[in-house]
Amino acid sequence: MSPLSAAAAVPSAWLQFWSAYQQHFIDPQGRVIDWVEGGITTSEGQSYALFFALVSNEPQTFARILSWTQKNLAQGNLAQNLPIWRWGKQDDGQWGPLSGNHAADSDLWIAYDLLQAGRLWNNEHYTQMGRSLAQQIAAQEILPMKGAGPMLIPGEKYFRFGASLVINPSYLPPFLLASLADALPDGPWREMSKYLPRVIAKTSPHGFSPDWISYSPDRGYFPAPQGVEGRYNAIRVYLWAGMTNPDTPGAKAVLDSLWGMALYMKTHDLPPLQENYQSGLVQGTGPSGFSAALLPFLVQYKMPEAAKVQLARLEAERSPATGLYGYPPVHYYNQNLALFGLGWYNGAYRFSPHGNLRPSWDRLSASPAGFRPVTDPLSRHG
């Protein structure tokens, strides 16, 4: 497709939102800035921005974000070094690394972004870089756990306690694991994908996912030191489950396990701020980004009226001055949730059964509206 026709294929409202996001959160170098946290940059922010640049078919934006990421987070080479997770103003006033630790979910997203960019833009350099990064993750950030399969170590520190490992269910999007399994069949990805539905089911006894949970072969799953609540991390579990192609192996089982959130949204207008995964107790009202994150989930559960309520809320909380969502519209993470949820809902992208990205501008993609909701999983929960 020509650049003009490719751009026209992406929903204009979403492109305007993505443009507004770039104006407020991405500097000319390609650094994503979290203003609420003092102007820091995280590997998470960089990984999501790479994805959105790919969805919008902006190779120059992608290259700029990637260049900054490599130079400042990966010692100049993502093919050889895992990126650090946090960069900003240091105690001496200089700007640079704030931690040598890595965020494994962001590492996975960057590897995925590179592999998909290589495939969609026919760029072998990106493909090889993505493969090398994925191989580093497999070697350094995955730990075999008896009874649970290979598990992602969230970071190098603070997540391993003897035989126990603290995990984060939102770090494992089903489509991402499926794609890596397809691209690197010799890695641990297929086994991780196979075990994922069991992980989500075991950690969501009331249909709500926690932010963090511990696992050991002797005790199974038990509360993590971080607590039993699901909040700003867990909201992504519902988002990823909704975005995953229904024909992806294990997709229906993952969605079925999250029935608690679907039942809650049948009787409440807005999503909760937090849920106790052990008791099922919910509290508060989540921000507008939570409403956006649930849009794919509500579509897959065949709850169109609930989705319309979330859309109305988003429209009411959209700032005409900035084109961003929420009051005040300064929270970078809230905007990221909205970019994901609204992008999927409006047809800017889909995922294939193997987890490959299908942006609306790709002439080989299925129709943006061509998804098939799963059979109603709530029928078994009343």
Cβ atoms of 209 and 258 within 8 Å: the answer is: yes
Residue pair 37/51 in contact (Cβ under 8 Å)? The answer is no
Task: Give, as one character, the DSSP assignment of residue 108.
Answer: H
Distances (CA, A) of 72 to 43, 67, 87, 93, 256: 10, 9, 8, 17, 41
Q: What region does 323 belong to: left with phi over 0, alpha with psi -120 to 50, or beta?
A: left
Give catalytic status of residue 105 as yes or no: yes
In this structure, the number of other CB atoms found within 10 A of the CB of residue 233 comes to: 19
Asked if residue 43 lies in contact with residue 106, where contact means CB atoms within 8 angstroms, the answer is yes
Q: Which of 34, 58, 105, 275 is catalytic?
A: 105
Q: Which of 365, 327, 323, 355 is closest to 342 using CA atoms?
A: 323
Residues 14 and 346 sit within 8 Å (Cβ to Cβ)? yes
User: Between 304-316 and 332-345, two packed helices, what is the crossing angle to 10 degrees?
Assistant: 140
At 149 the three-state DSSP class reads strand
Residues belonging to the active site? 44, 105
